[in-house]
Chains A and B, each alone.
Chain A
């Protein structure tokens, strides 16, 4: 499956943290095309197992999360407008945004923006507070109450589209692009020799603190962990030292969360096969599934590969398709380099 087709298919699905079943079902179906066995656990983590038979050593677990940021309904007023709370969102992106409200029925909604004609002088210079915003379902209160309850989830409506060249934009590329990297790695592995038993896990609840990865890593008991996530892309308004450049290849994480020898192996493979990569220094918490994988059971040597992404946690997350493909290729080559009791697992 082409990577853009994969993203078109899974990114339009709604799956705020804790409510990933929709996405999980589709990802499981797609994994079946490339894996020997696919299982779904109680958190809706999808695990695809793949090996060439034989020794099946070491066991490598990959993790990329399927959940997305979103909102929750906090109230319904007497005219049927919804008040809501965001999770991990910049409130300034909200006015004028189209959303899907996941009640008993999925409803299209619009976060209303007050027109300039009705604003008081100077109002346009004050940031809108999420408390002053409401979702319009264009329905009467009685109808709204038939379908919506406080606590229902809300996601953005912003399908993935192509822009110039290899650039794409849309919602929830954080981190379904990471799942796309896994699909690319599966495809690449079909053309390589490898001794490992690979477990591709599309995880849930990352945005709530990598809950899905935590139970899945415990369950899979890997010798090596590879977390795949997105990292901040270069934009004019962001500090250069905190961003990676779109189109210049995947970022390889360095710092306390990452196993130094495995990380160097990853970089060596990139150099050997001429794949551009960007070292990304992360002083502490990587904010990815790697954080929990590293300390599961008696510890898992873990590496982190990230794909640069602009405007994270917005409806216009923007990436370069080549970075996704190169990340998949690099990871597959890295896996094929791993041997049973590889010296690089040691410290």
Chain B
């Protein structure tokens, strides 16, 4: 499972550029599914038939895309300008990026020695930053990158602390990994697993996939904010690391169906799997789009708590991840939620 997370998080796939991640997932799941479709935006929909006589259609969704940068201009001196997809500009300075999966670059800032004292308290706007790829001129840079190329952080996935891992893109490759693991088992209902594109660009991919699938219920799997860190008041902890998968009641994009929330809680309690309720209403995810498809779909959201999402490196508890896999499997095996 850790090797799966390592491969998934170290593959680059900014919103709009999910191809590498999709190809990787296709290979991983092909032995376990009956059919795969890639739609016009690049969503990968995998179908796994259920064993029940009258199976329901269960849509599971995790997004493949991650936050990142897109190259917008090549300067005369060979530096690159960029647009930002889903990142706080304050985490960009002094970071490494990989452009188009092959050209390394850095986001630098002039040395502290060359700054005036008050500059150090001022935010450098993303518009004023540039990526240095070691090119000495525009021509040299043009030989290496093209406008519209995507860039993302180069963080290595590795162990940190006690039973935790550090990686980029855990939002939402953690969700992708959960669904890959879930697909290895068998269930009564038909599973339509959507590995979605462009969640970070505004939940763009999941809607068209849900329309195509027209499911009876939908469940989004996320790597969600874990804010049990200094600077956050305890009542603002959206989730706590190590306390199990987080079940959402409401967030900015959707209300969860009470039936599904109760079904998840029952599955967790019957199997003795620890779980927690997501305690803040911030953030949104693909469930918001699935819920409003066709005549409306009952949805739920289950998340693996992840600290520092949308930054170069995030931290996740491996046990939380494993418990999320177990919870989804238990929930699906019961098959009761749709009846």
Residues of A within 8 A of B (CB): 77, 79, 81, 83, 88-93, 95-98, 107-110, 112-119, 124-129, 132, 134, 136-140, 143, 158, 161-167, 169, 232, 235-239, 242-243, 246-247, 287, 310-316, 318
Nearest 5 Cβ contacts at the A-B interface: A138-B161, A167-B134, A311-B108, A93-B94, A163-B134
Asked if residues A115 and B88 are in contact (CB atoms below 8 Å), the reply is yes
Give the docked Cα–Cα distance between A92 and B123 (Å): 8
User: Of the candidates A92, A112, A143, A243, which one forms a contact with B90 in the assembled complex, judged by CB atoms under 8 Å apart?
Assistant: A92
Q: Which residues of B contact A92 (CB under 8 A)?
A: 90, 93, 109, 120, 123-124
> How far apart are A39's CB and chain B's nearest CB, in angstroms?
33
B158 at the interface (CB under 8 A from A): yes
**B32 CB within 8 Å of chain A:** no
Kindly state the separation between the CA atoms of A321 and B339 in the bound complex, as whole angstroms. Answer: 68
Q: Which of B177-185, B213-221, B228-236 contacts A (4 or more CB under 8 A)?
A: B228-236
Per-residue CB contact flags for chain B residues 199-232 toward chain A (1 = under 8 Å, else 0) read 0000000000000000000000000010111111
Structural contact, B113 and A232, CB atoms closer than 8 A: yes
Q: Are A164 and B134 in contact (CB under 8 A)?
A: yes
Which residues of the partner chain A approach B313 to less than 8 Å between Cβ atoms? 96, 98, 110
Partner-A contacts on B (CB < 8 A):
75, 77, 79, 86-91, 93-96, 103-115, 120-124, 128, 130, 132-136, 140, 144, 155, 158-162, 164, 166, 225, 227-232, 236, 238, 280, 282-283, 307-313, 315
Query: Is the Cβ of B228 less than 8 Å from the Cβ of A79?
Result: yes
- Asked if residues B166 and A110 are in contact (CB atoms below 8 Å), the reply is yes
Write out the residue numbers on chain B whose beta carbons fall within 8 Å of the beta carbon of A126.
Answer: 123
* B228 vs chain A, min Cβ distance (A): 7
Could you name 11 residue pairs across A and B whose Cβ atoms are closer than 8 Å?
A: A90-B115, A108-B166, A117-B310, A119-B88, A169-B134, A236-B75, A236-B79, A311-B110, A313-B111, A314-B93, A314-B109
Q: Determine the residue in chain A with the shortest Cβ distance to B161.
A: A138
**Contact at A113–B160, with CB atoms within 8 Å?**
no
Instruction: Determine the main DSSP class of A at the interface with B.
Output: loop
Tell me the nearest residue of chain B to A243, going by C-beta.
B114
Which of B79, B132, B144, B310 gathers the greatest number of chain A CB atoms within 10 Å?
A: B132
CB distance B75 to A137 under 8 Å?
no
Indicate if the CB atoms of B107 and A235 lie closer than 8 Å: no
Quick one: which of B112, B162, B238, B310 contacts A312, CB cutoff 8 A? B112
B257, chain A: closest CB distance, angstroms = 23
Q: CB distance A97 to B160 under 8 Å?
A: no
Q: How far is the CA of A238 from the CA of B130 in the complex (A)?
A: 13
Contact B114 A238 (CB under 8 A): yes
How close is A215's CB to chain B, nearest CB, in angstroms? Answer: 25
- CB proximity of B246 to chain A, nearest CB, Å: 14
